[in-house]
Amino acid sequence: MSETYDLYRQGRDHLAAGHAAQATVALEKAKKREPRKASIREALGIAYYRMRRFAEAEAEFRTILELQPVDHYAHFALGRCLEKQGRPAEAVGHYRLASFFRPQSRDYQQALANLES
């Protein structure tokens, strides 16, 4: 296995254990090695979100959408980051896209409904 993958797994393991701050250490190193790897950026975005570092999480999810514009989870997560930063009008658009790309997701539909009501 590659060292980058080992760093990614280490970061995911820290996330699973509820240690977001520790996860960012390994995931930042992995991102430096593979800056265009969406899976690394997603895990890092989740870690930042859990640490309430919403602007940094937003940046990670925006980068994922530059790489993969139809990534439903990145749209949803970006919407959550925007909502937490007091930008609900921007969040709605991303919730709509997440729901469009994955209409079976109740979480996406609920997030959208909460802002549209």
Residues 6+ apart with CB under 8 A from 3: 33
Domain span holding position 43: 1-53
Six token digits for residue 11 = 């970061």
Give how many domains the chain has, as a whole number: 2
Model confidence, pTM = 0.94
Task: Indicate whether 60 belongs to any domain.
Answer: no
Q: Report if residue 3 sits inside a domain.
A: yes
| Dist. CA 117–CA 112, nearest whole Å | 9
List, for residues 60-115, the tens digit of each pLDDT value: 999 999 999 999 999 999 999 999 999 999 999 999 999 999 999 999 999 999 99
